[in-house]
Chain A
Amino acid sequence: MQSEYALVSKSAPLPASPRAGKYLVFHLGREHFGIRVLKVREIMGLQDITAVPHTPAFVKGVFNLRGKVIPVIDLRRRFQMPEIEYSPRTCIIVVSLSGADEPVPMGLVVDGVAEVINIAESDIEATPAFGNELDTSYLLGIAKIRGEVRLLLDIDRALNVSQFEALTKFANTASSEVM
C-alpha cells in the first residue's frame, strides 16, 4: 500500500486533470483545505457526540444522523494540529468515503466552512516534497485561488479506513498492555 502511494505522488502529472472541478473549502486554523464536492454528503452544525472507548485519539466518537450511527473524526487531531475550543462556526462535514462494498459515511469536525469554488487544472500545482517529516500523500495538489493557497485533500487517503482499523487495533493492544 505504502509504496503504491509513493508511486502516485512522485509520478508525472496525472493525465487529463482528474483534479479540476468543484471543491468545498473549509479551514483548520489558518490552513484552508479543499475537498471534492462530490465527496460531501452534507454540512451540519456540531451535534451531540458520544465518545467511543478504545479508539485512536482523533476519533471523536459517534453521532446520530437521521437514525444512522456515524463516526466522527476530529480533523485537527488527525493532522496533529493543536486543539482549540469549539466555536459556533465549528461544524461537521459528512463525507462519503469509498469503502470496500459501499460508500462509508463519516463526519469531520472542522473549524468552519467557507465556500464552494471551481478549480481549473491550471490553478493546481503538484504537492511539493517536504522530506520525510511531512506525509503529503493525502494531498491531491495545491491550488492558488486569488493569491490564496488551498490544500486539495484526497479525503479517501486522508481518512483511510483500513488504516483506521489498524490504528484501532493498535490502540486496543496498547490499552490492554497498560492494564
Chain B
Amino acid sequence: MAETLRNESVECELRQLVDELAARSMSDLQVDAAEARIICERFAMLPRLAAEADLGELSELGQSLLKVLEGADVTRFVPSLRDAVTQMQERVEAVFQEHKAPADTRAVDRIEGIATDEDMSLADPSLVADFVVESREHLVAAEEQALALEKVPDDAEAINALFRAFHSIKGLAAFLGFDRVYRFAHEVETLLDYARNREIVVTSSVVDVILASADFLSRCMDAIQGGDLSTVPSIEQPLVERIRKTIEEGTKPPESCVIASEAAPAIETTPVPQLLEIEKIEQAEVAPVQSAAKSERPAQIAVKAPQARSEAIEISAPPAEAKAQGAERYSIRVETTKLDYLMDMVGELVIAQSLVRTEILDQANPNSNLTRSITQLTQITSDVQRTTLSMRMIPIGQLMRRTARIVRDLARKFGKQVEVSLEGEDTEVDKTIAEELADPLMHIVRNAIDHGIESPEQRLAAGKNPLARICLSASHEGSQIVVQVSDDGKGLDRSKILKKARERNLVSDVQLTDADIVELIFSPGFSTADQVTDVSGRGVGMDVVRRHVEKLRGRVDVESRPGAGTRFMIRLPLTRAIIDGLVVKVGDSRYVIPLSSVREIFRPVESSVSTVQAKGELVLLHDRLLPIVRLHREFSIASAVTDPCAAVLIVAESEGRQFCLMVDDLIGKQEVVVKNLGCFLESTPGVSGGTILGDGRVGLILDVQRIEVRA
C-alpha cells in the first residue's frame, strides 16, 4: 500500500516533469543556451525519479537520453529533442499503465504480449469521445493515403500523411491509456517509418497490411465508443506478426542508406521499433564501436556524433509535414445542434422577410427606396440561406475513395482485375446523406464485381481488356446529386434472372419488359449467385440499396447492356434537411408529399374508377389497375372532396409498388425544410415530419410508404 502511494506521487512528479519538458521544447523553435541547460537538467532528474519509482526501464531510458544530450549542442537539436520528449511522454504514460497492470518492462516483450492485456481508459469520457472521432478521421485519411500510395509507391507526401495519422492515434491512445491501441499503432508506425526512410519498398502487400491495420484500429474505435475495448477480439497478434514480417521481407536486401551521410557507411536495418532506438543508444554504451552506425537510422535521437549527423537530422526533420498541413483547408468543428438552430432561424428569417416583402410591394411605390431596400434584403436573405445549407455539405470524394477500397479488396478476393476511376469527387452533399450512401454503394460494387465483371480469362475471350473498369461518379443535377456506378462487365443476365425468379415464384410466365426484369433484382431475397459466398448470394443486396435510397427520398435506376456493362444511377436530394415537395390540399389542411415518390398526377374519369366489394377502390391508368387511398379517410378529415372524379389522384411509388393518393387539389411544388415533429409525435404513422410553409404555418410531410402499408 505504502509502495503504491509513493509510486503515485512519483508518477505525478514524473508526469509534471515530462510535461514541462514537452512545454519547453515545444514552445519555440529557437532554444537558447540557458533554456537548453534547463532542459538538460530536467532530463537529469528523470532517471533518478524513475529509479525511485522502481521503474528500471524508464530510468535507463532517461539515462541514455541524458548521455546523448550531454556535451551536445542542444540548441541545434530542438526538432529531435522535441520528438524525444514526445516519445518520453508517451513512454511515461505507457509505463505507468503497465505498472498498474504489471508486465515485463522490456519493450520487446511488451509488444509480444499485446494480445493479453486489455486495460480500459479511465480518462474523461468527453476526451475519449474526441479521441474516437479524431482517430476515425485519421483512419479514413490513412486509408485514402494507403490507396494513393499503392498507385504511386514512392509518394513521399502520402507516406508522411500515413505516418502522421498513425502517429497521432498512437500519441492520443497513449495519453488516454488505451494501451492496446497505442502498442498496435506503434507497430504500424514502425513499418511506416521504414517506408518513410525508404528502407522498404511499398508494395501492395505492404498496403494490404496497412489497410488491415487501419481496419483493426477502426474496430477498436467502435469498441471504445461502445465502452469496452475488450470486446475487440485479440487478432492483433497475427497482424503484428504480419507487420514484422513485412518489415523483415522489405528490408532483406540491405539497400544502402538513403538518408545516410558519408560518415555512416553501413546501416543495420534490423526491424527495430523506433522507440527501442533509445535502448540501442544505451547498448551503444556497452559496445560503442558498432553502435555508432546502428543508432543512425531514426534521426530523432541519434544526436551522438556531432557534425555530420546533425545535418541528417535537419534534412529528415520532416519539412513535408509542415507543407502538407499548410495546404489543408482551415476548418472548425461545430456542433450540429448549433447548425440546426441556425437553419431554423434562417428559415424563419426567410418567412418573415417574405411577409414583409409582400406587404411592402403591395403598398409602396415600386420606385421608392423602400422597395429597392427590400429587394436587396431578399437577395441577402437567400444568400444567407444558401450559405447556411452549404455548411452541412461535405465533398463526396471521401465516400467514393472508401468504396474504391472495397472494390480493391473484393477484386483481389475474386481474382478479378479491376481498375477504379473516380469522377466528381468534389461534388458536395449533406454529411448525413453521404453517410447513408455508404451501404448502398458497397452493395452495388459488390454486385458489380461478383456478378458483373468477368474473370480476366473470360474478358480476354470476349475480346475485352482483361483489366475491368468500375467508374464511380457524382454530379449535381438541379437540387439532386446523382451518383453513378458503372462497370464494363457482362451486364445483367436476363435469362439467369428470369430463371431464378421463376424458381422462387416471383414471376408468372407473362411477357416481361426489360424494366420488369431490372425490377426483379430489387426484390427482397433475390440472388442469381449459384452459390452463397460471403460476398453475395444471400440476396440481401439490391433490396437494401433500394430501401436505403428511398429512405433518403431518392431513387435508384439501372441500365444494362448485355456484354457491355451495367450502370446504377442513384438520385438523392442534396440534403435531408430540404426536400422537393408537392403541396396538396385536403379539406382545410395542407400536406406535403415528397416529390421523389410522386410519379404522375391526374384526374380520373368516372368509367375508370371501380370498387371492390364496395370498399376498395381501383383506378385504371395506362392499362394498369392502381388502388386508391383516400387521404381524407386515412386522416379523418372532414369537408374534403369525396368524389374521385372531382378530386386529384397522385400516383405515388414506394418500393416499386404504385398506388393513388386522393387529395382535393394541388397547391404547388415547393422546396421545404424538413423538421422533426418532436418527442411523442415522431412515430405518428403516415407522417414523416413537418415543415414551415410560406405563411408560417406547419404543414405535415407525408410518409408515403407507411400510408401505403396501412391502407
- Interface presence of A63 (CB below 8 A): yes
Interface size class of A (residues with CB under 8 A): 20 to 34
Q: Which of A5-62 contact B (CB under 8 A)?
A: 48, 50-55, 59, 61-62
Which residue of B681, B683, B690 contacts A59 across the interface (Cβ within 8 Å)?
A: B681
- Contacts A67-B348, A164-B679; A62 near B696 (Cβ below 8 A): no
- Which residues from chain B contact A168 at a C-beta distance below 8 Å? 680-681, 683-684
- What's the Cα separation between A103 and B675 when bound, in Å? 17
- Interface presence of B710 (CB below 8 A): yes
- What's the Cα separation between A63 and B677 when bound, in Å? 10
- Which residues from chain B contact A69 at a C-beta distance below 8 Å? 675-678, 689-690, 692, 698
- Interface presence of A118 (CB below 8 A): no
For residue A175, which residue of chain B has the nearest CB? Answer: B636
Determine chain B's interface SS by DSSP, over half rule: mixed
Beta-carbon contacts of B643-685 to A below 8 Å, as 1s and 0s?
Answer: 0000000000000000000000000000000011111110111
A-B contact count (CB 8 A): 91
Which residue of B680, B685, B697 contacts A48 across the interface (Cβ within 8 Å)?
A: B697
Number of B residues whose C-beta is below 8 Å from A?
Answer: 31
- Which residues from chain B contact A172 at a C-beta distance below 8 Å? 685
**B685 pairs with A64, CB closer than 8 A:** no
Which residue of A71, A99, A176, A179 contacts B681 across the interface (Cβ within 8 Å)?
A: A71
- What's the Cα separation between A28 and B411 when bound, in Å? 71
- Which residues from chain A contact B690 at a C-beta distance below 8 Å? 50, 62, 69
- What's the Cα separation between A76 and B688 when bound, in Å? 28
- What's the Cα separation between A61 and B681 when bound, in Å? 9
- Which residues from chain A contact B692 at a C-beta distance below 8 Å? 64, 67, 69
- Interface presence of B611 (CB below 8 A): no
**A52 pairs with B679, CB closer than 8 A:** no
- Interface presence of B687 (CB below 8 A): yes
Beta-carbon contacts of B581-600 to A below 8 Å, as 1s and 0s?
Answer: 00000000100000000000
- Contacts A54-B685, A63-B698, A165-B683; A71 near B589 (Cβ below 8 A): no
For residue B348, which residue of chain A has the nearest CB? Answer: A67
A71 to chain B, nearest CB (A): 5
- What's the Cα separation between A140 and B22 when bound, in Å? 58
- Interface presence of A158 (CB below 8 A): no
**A64 pairs with B679, CB closer than 8 A:** no
- What's the Cα separation between A66 and B675 when bound, in Å? 12
A108 to chain B, nearest CB (A): 14
- Contacts A62-B690, A64-B698, A69-B690; A55 near B681 (Cβ below 8 A): yes
- Interface presence of B344 (CB below 8 A): yes
- What's the Cα separation between A55 and B690 when bound, in Å? 15
Chain B interface residues toward A at CB < 8 A: 343-345, 347-348, 589, 634-637, 675-681, 683-687, 689-690, 692, 696-700, 710
Given contacts A48-B698, A64-B692, A168-B680, 12 further A-B contacts (CB under 8 A): A50-B699, A51-B589, A52-B687, A53-B637, A53-B686, A63-B698, A69-B698, A97-B679, A105-B678, A106-B679, A161-B680, A164-B680
Please name 13 pairs of A and B residues whose Cβ atoms are closer than 8 Å in the assembled complex, sorted by A: A53-B634, A53-B687, A54-B684, A63-B697, A64-B696, A66-B344, A67-B692, A68-B678, A97-B679, A105-B678, A161-B679, A164-B680, A165-B680
